[in-house]
Structure 1
Amino acid sequence: MDFALNDEQRLFRQTLRDFAEKEIMPVASEWERTGRYPAEFVEKFQDMGLFGLNVPEEYGGLGADRVSYALAFEEIARAWLGAAGLFGPHSVACWMVSRNGTEEQKARFLPRMASGELRSGLGLTEPGAGTDLQGIITTAVRDGDHYVVNGAKTWITNARVAGMLPILVKTGAVDGGHAAMSVLLVETDTPGFRVTRDLPKLGYKGPETCELVLEDVRVPAANLLGGEEGHGLQHVLGSLEIGRINISARAVGVAQAAYEAALNYSREREAFGKPIANFQAIQLKLADMATEIQAARLLAYWAATRSEETGGRVDLEAGMAKMYASEVAIKCALESMRIHGGYGYSAEYVVERLYRDAPLMAIGEGTNDVQRLIIAKSLVSGKGRLGW
């Protein structure tokens, strides 16, 4: 049992941390407040290879181990959750293609996805189908060598900048179950594909989150992920599991930022002639925050390690990490605001942004109540196991 990062992982983390503290932290709050799109970070992430985290080296990617994958999101989200969103859904799409795509699909898409030339996201959620993905009504009807796609998607991050989106569709009966579901790799310059609007959000600003419609979009049959119909839900669920490791790491980053802000402020702020860090009430809050953040971090790394070890599904571990870490992020953001007092409610302090960003992690990649059900199902079935 080894809880330490190896030399390569430590160097990777330090590189990310140095970049985040130097380039992202100084501008994050202002850019978030003004709605500025962080295009400069896209170029930096391309240079650092972060768009290729989940792309095998043979296709030009980093082929990163799962813990390094988690480290990337933890360190960037610590500086700004929105910046992590620039390559978050993209990384899950890369995983989906690299794990499930045909050899032709991998060769065609992955090298450009790894470089960031071709950016992506996930086209899953619909206005009437979020948690219940089997309830989607977007259809894909075979017409010769193409599928004709009609439907709408919502809450799609990076939709405006994506060159290709994996779109979950029904290739069978609309009222059919998982056997009627497939994933099509839809190139966004195809006629009939339209982004209709950007959704206003409480937090998670920087990357756009959009609604889109597909009207008689003709997608080549060669873009059917894996080459066979009926495997879409399996492709998506396996990829969302990796996405939960991503989300748990982002949550740890946000929680860490909230804790650091609270600790620093408590050392500087004085009341009754001494720093408030000397008051027991503040010390109790800091102790709880630090302990819970470290527990969340270990859960995230545990899920990442188990994913690497098994090479398969880790529903229990990823569900636990995502559920717990996201709740810790929300709690730490609130506790940090309380330690800041009135200043915590001011947009001039980073904690206000963290307080708005944190709730997203309890919703994204499956709500936390869904995670509890996944965890329980894994335990009851005997498939999940506790321990390192």
Structure 2
Amino acid sequence: MSSIVCKIFKVVLLASVLVILTGCNSNSHLAGTADAKEVIRSSAWLAYWELDAGEKDLQRIAKKLDKLSYFGAYFDPHGRIFIPQELSDKQRKLKAEKRKYETYLTFVNDKQNFDGSLVMKDTEVLRAIFSNTATMERHIDEIITLTLEGKYDGIEIDYERIWKDEKIGQFFLKFVDKLYVKAQENNLKLRIILEPSMPFSSANFFKGPEYVVMLYNLYGLHSDPGPKANKEFIKKTVIRMKDLPGEKSVAFSTGGCLWGDDGTKRFLTETEAKTLVMTYGSKTKRDKESQCIVFDYKDMGVSYQVWYADVETLNYWISIAKEEGVNNISLWRLGGNIDIRKIK
């Protein structure tokens, strides 16, 4: 009897071991698959007005980058596109380092006036360009020429406020279609930057370009104090993005914003925010929904409130996007970020 029991025990034990081993192998396989899906593809912007600080950040994060966008080319007083000389100089310098990331030239609808001032996000210059086929095609040729001359890998279009006027929006779709064809002919990739308020489901975007949605400015210069993004905003926007075809990416903003009770509002970098904390001895707290750092201070009788993102904030936002199935992450922008090398 004891012999039979012993045999049964051995069989049960062997079966248990096999189940455990099979389970471990199965879990290991699933974990490997999950890890593959969670690989982050990172990109960032280098802006022409903060090149030196931006380059310092770039040196810290370069090995993690898949793409770098040079921001950017914009319109002169005559409505012709041009690249700031300092940006071209920096691009040539960095290109000589032969980094592995792809490079893109960003085109924006800012316009320089004859007096040197800038009109930001000018829709009228786009209306003029998109109004007829000849001017649209001339603009596309300018974009292709500048990108090829600079030996960039691709084109990035960051034209904003276009859906404030549905007619301009429809012209924009036609423009992107034509530009994509011309880019393909010239072995250039194409990224399209979209504002989160755009009608993804009804705009009839086509498969081909990479679509990058800006997940920031939930609060900003247009509003009262608050975070550039929070969990709810990110999740809702990413869900809406499922209507976009092909490759999709999200962009998060570094730094933050300052609001004064005298009406003062301005963006600031993480370095500037932390300098204010030290200068005024402010107490900081971390907002639960956004994981942004918040603090107040007073200067010359004016009360200020600051909301800004540090690396913990950015990694939190990235984790939310990943949970929703988006692993392509872009950072606006390089410069003034203290622990950027710790970005996941």
Which category describes the TM-score, using the shorter chain as reference length?
under 0.3
If each structure's strand is expressed as a fraction of its own residues, which one has the higher value?
Answer: 2
Give the TM-score taking structure 1 as reference length: 0.25
TM-score, normalization: structure 2? Answer: 0.27
Higher helix share: 1
Query: In terms of Rg, which structure is larger?
Result: 2
